[in-house]
Chains A and B, each alone.
Chain A
Amino acid sequence: MNYFLRLSVLLVGLVVSAGSYAANTVQPLTTADDLGPKVEQPFEFPHNRHAGNADKGGMEINCMYCHTYARRSMVAGIPPVQKCIGCHQSIESVRETPRIKKLFEYWEAKKAIPWKKVHDLPEFVRFNHERHIQRFVFAQNKPVQEACGYCHGDVKTMTVARRQKPLSMGWCVSCHQKDHPVDATSTKTTHGPNDCWQCHK
């Protein structure tokens, strides 16, 4: 275990130096070459239908409506089934579609839906959603989808979410090294912490 750990720390350093040329260029929201594996889910949740633009048939629901914990906690979390039902019990038009039927099956059986993690950092990394959302969405007034998209890509165009970014240490650091305005109006800048223990506690 230890060997792999040490090895990966060393190698991440290599990757950082190799990847640093990209540090100051703008990162596109989706980079196809870093796509994560397709993750098999209990049923396909259409992010595009819920969060997509209206002209593409989306509902433009704010990410934080369902991932309500992201701004308050380390983890973004998955909404309780109760929340899905809260809306879907009065959306008759799709009530009989296969996915919604499945949703109601879980609800009636009072069973949590066993969603798989699509973005899962190793146990030795501590990523805090709250800090990022508070900084980008609430302090800098960035659109929510843009802020979430820095790490999650353009989720509003996806059905089942799929990892778009490498989420490696070098990749995190490339953003933490950049200067960011402290809030929406200020010209003062700051950057994310670069101390080891911020993430490796």
Chain B
Amino acid sequence: MIENSFNRRNFLKVLGWGGATAALSGCGNTSVEDGKEFVTSYVETADYIIPSIGTYFNSTCAQCDAGCGIMGRVREGRVLKLEGNPKASINNGKMCGLGQAGVQAHYNPDRIREPLLRNGDRGEAITWEKALGLINEKVGGVNAENIAFLTGVVSGHDKALLKNYLDALGSGHHYVYEAVAPSVIRAANKKAYGVEMPRLRLDKAKVIVSFGADFLGAWVSPVHFSQQYARFRKPDSGERGVLVQVESKMTLTGANADRWLAIRPGTEGILALGLINALAAAGLSVPGDVAAAVGGYTSERVSKDTGVSAEHIGKLAALLKERSPSLIIAGSAAEGYAHGSQNAAAIALLNQILGNVGQTVEAPSSTPFPQMAPTTGNRLALQSLNDNMAQDKVKVLFSYGTNPVFTAPATMKLKENLKKVPFKVVFAHYMDETAVEADLVLPLNSAMEDWATVIPEYVAEGAQLNIRQPLMEKLYPGTLGLGDILLGLLKYRRPDEYNGFEDFYSYLRNAMVTNKDALGGASKDGDTFWEAALSHGGVKMVGEPVNLSGNVSATTLVVPAPFVEDATYPLHLIPAVSASMRDGRNANEPWLQESPDPLTTIVWDSWVEMHPKTAAKLGIVEGDIVEVASKSGAMKAQAYVFTGIHPDVISVPLGYGHDAMGRYAKGVGANAFKILDPVFDKETGELAMHETRVKVTKAGKRVIIVKDEGPAGGNQMGRKIAVRLTSNKVNLSEEV
């Protein structure tokens, strides 16, 4: 708030009465501000550009990796508001709050505006010629083996150029890292279905059992799933679908479920096998070896292990048997353990037994240009880069689209290992935790100024290539897009091939137009094809459907017994991935800090979510500052007492607690990534995000939590706003 110390009385005093009358009459007339501002004027303009009236341009959202199609409303050369692109098959004209905040990434006051070269503690502004020249010199001075490129998910022409650059350097070290991604699920899916990410047809399912997949909030492609979910709830057949969510900490999806089952952390696989056993007992045909393998998972045992009552297990099995097809989804809650792969395999097996494969689990299409297909990331990649850095094997490091210094657990000692790398180049929007460690920082265009093509991992239908195009002129002349930077670097290495392209735009246009036949433009001339692609925000491609394999086998299926209690660290920590904050890369957009968490309504801070029973046992009330300590570190945050969590579990949202990045992110909350224990999934080697055990102690202070929820919490002050209704189709208390 801007304090106005110059109040009305002073105003009149200063002027004296003569002055005051002059000023007063002045207020009425000359608040008109003639001759101060410029009129928006153009040199040349298209007929459809009318000042004060918005024009919409299609592009692709860059706020998360779902790759929704967006439309930017542009007025007087400035982008004002984003909407979903109605032609985009992923999101059909809708978008999420995180996507909406994209304009704040663009207009953000903390963006880096020119390349910065380290000079002691400071970054010195240099020109792009000098920056690219320096990179070329550095990569030329080391063995190609010692060059590493760390990126987030890459696809499209950026990926193709990156590969060409790495080839030109003679190095294959490309690490693709995603801090929160369903990487264990992908591996398990590959085994069970033959593809990493099958298409999930929520809209065709009559029952969905989701093991902690927050598909309405933050999982894979939430806007797409939300639309399918709406059709699942209100299908043409009129038979409302039933959603059962099994997880230890309630997610937004859990809050929407007909039945939310709080499960003991890590026992998701046991429940899946128990359900198969119950289904077999109820007469569903189950292959002999599977039946034998799950025979021991009786209702009583499963109920004892998982904490889910035998009654609910029975009801769930009955529901699944009766309503087909169903869909079972394994989410981050199931995969986050040392036995995450086994949990995911058990859940996939349940899908297969129920005959959902081919029904609600569909084959995706392959893309006709594999060199542009998305390379998804995992946490193992960062682990191996880290090991290489520790052994002094990395001499030049590039980092793009990730912030590993923020997202790596403290036990990795990533920051220390980074110091061993003599030359670190970080592509960044903000001076985030990784950029401040860099030797050279390359400022990136915002997504609203950039050219790129994107193939999302999860494509709703067919195969497609999304286009990201500038919605307005660059705000700062000193920023560049990844494509332009790579092209600039390639010109040093392969001048014959790349000197002909003035910029990435001309490269991209040429590449697209040359391949227009495969991009659905065979009948159009080059210009028409390109214009149409830009106007639609992407092109459809002809992809081959990939075959799903239906291997049903229980031979390798072993799910470990539930955890034994740890006396020192009695609680399980669930690092929560929230719809707005995700892995924290967008934390410097104030709308996201300001929009309340959907379940707790907390804003602008981290919190420690715990069950009332747990809180009572520890003598904690809402607002107590508590210390959460694991074997690997400790953090402090305010306690929030909430029934939507298992009593053995506490949860802290990820993405908060930056100590760099910008004015809206820095110092807000605490970073839960840091205290994660180094436990890994046994099959894939992925960091097991839910394996950290903690103890919680009061730190002494108590605060008033800043949240939207009223003092009466979620009880609606007795006004019965959202009363529980039983529908005529589903009698919840009877069926689930």
Give 1 or 0 for each of A22-40: 1 = CB within 8 Å of chain B CB: 0000000000001011111
Contacts A11-B24, A72-B50, A73-B51; is A81 near B43 (CB within 8 Å)? Answer: yes
Whether A82 contacts B44 by the Cβ 8 Å rule is yes
Give 1 or 0 for each of B9-38: 1 = CB within 8 Å of chain A CB: 001000000000000110111011111111
Whether B53 contacts A72 by the Cβ 8 Å rule is yes
Whether A121 contacts B24 by the Cβ 8 Å rule is no
Kindly state whether residue A78 has any CB partner on chain B within 8 Å. Answer: yes
Question: Which residue of B28, B45, B51 contacts A8 across the interface (Cβ within 8 Å)?
Answer: B28
Chain A residues positioned under 8 Å from B40 (CB to CB): 77-78
Chain A residues positioned under 8 Å from B53 (CB to CB): 72-74
Kindly state whether residue B52 has any CB partner on chain A within 8 Å. Answer: yes
Tell me how far the C-beta of B340 lies from the nearest C-beta in chain A, rounded to whole angstroms.
53
Kindly state whether residue B719 has any CB partner on chain A within 8 Å. Answer: no
Chain B residues positioned under 8 Å from A38 (CB to CB): 35
Contacts A69-B51, A73-B52; is A82 near B32 (CB within 8 Å)? Answer: no
CA distance A13 to B617 in the complex (A): 64
Whether B35 contacts A115 by the Cβ 8 Å rule is no
Contacts A73-B50, A73-B51, A75-B52; is A112 near B43 (CB within 8 Å)? Answer: yes
Contacts A115-B39, A122-B32; is A8 near B27 (CB within 8 Å)? Answer: yes
Question: Which residue of B36, B45, B51 contacts A117 across the interface (Cβ within 8 Å)?
Answer: B36
A80-B45, A116-B36 known; 4 other A-B pairs, CB under 8 Å? Answer: A7-B8, A38-B35, A78-B39, A112-B43
CA distance A20 to B39 in the complex (A): 33
Number of interface residues of B (CB under 8 A): 30
CA distance A150 to B37 in the complex (A): 23
Tell me how far the C-beta of B207 lies from the nearest C-beta in chain A, rounded to whole angstroms.
48
Tell me how far the C-beta of B85 lies from the nearest C-beta in chain A, rounded to whole angstroms.
25
Tell me how far the C-beta of B234 lies from the nearest C-beta in chain A, rounded to whole angstroms.
36
CA distance A8 to B25 in the complex (A): 9
Interface residues of A (CB under 8 A from B): 1-4, 7-8, 11-12, 14-15, 34, 36-40, 69, 72-75, 77-82, 106-107, 110-122, 163, 166-170
CA distance A125 to B188 in the complex (A): 60
Whether A117 contacts B50 by the Cβ 8 Å rule is no
Across the two chains, which residue of chain B brings its CB closest to A1?
B4
Tell me how far the C-beta of A200 lies from the nearest C-beta in chain B, rounded to whole angstroms.
13
Whether A115 contacts B28 by the Cβ 8 Å rule is no
Kindly state whether residue B7 has any CB partner on chain A within 8 Å. Answer: yes
Chain B residues positioned under 8 Å from A116 (CB to CB): 35-39
Interface residues of B (CB under 8 A from A): 2, 4, 6-8, 11, 24-25, 27-29, 31-45, 50-53
Contacts A115-B41, A116-B39; is A69 near B32 (CB within 8 Å)? Answer: no
A-B pairs with beta carbons under 8 Å apart, 8 shown: A3-B11, A77-B50, A78-B40, A107-B43, A112-B43, A117-B38, A120-B32, A120-B35
What 10 A-B pairs come out closest when comparing CB atoms? Answer: A15-B28, A39-B35, A74-B52, A80-B42, A8-B27, A82-B44, A78-B41, A77-B51, A120-B33, A112-B41
Whether A80 contacts B41 by the Cβ 8 Å rule is yes
Whether A82 contacts B41 by the Cβ 8 Å rule is no
Contacts A15-B29, A81-B44, A82-B45; is A118 near B38 (CB within 8 Å)? Answer: no
Question: Which residue of B7, B25, B50, B51 contacts A15 across the interface (Cβ within 8 Å)?
Answer: B25
Whether B35 contacts A118 by the Cβ 8 Å rule is yes
Whether A82 contacts B51 by the Cβ 8 Å rule is no
Tell me how far the C-beta of A126 lies from the nearest C-beta in chain B, rounded to whole angstroms.
10
Chain B residues positioned under 8 Å from A112 (CB to CB): 41-43
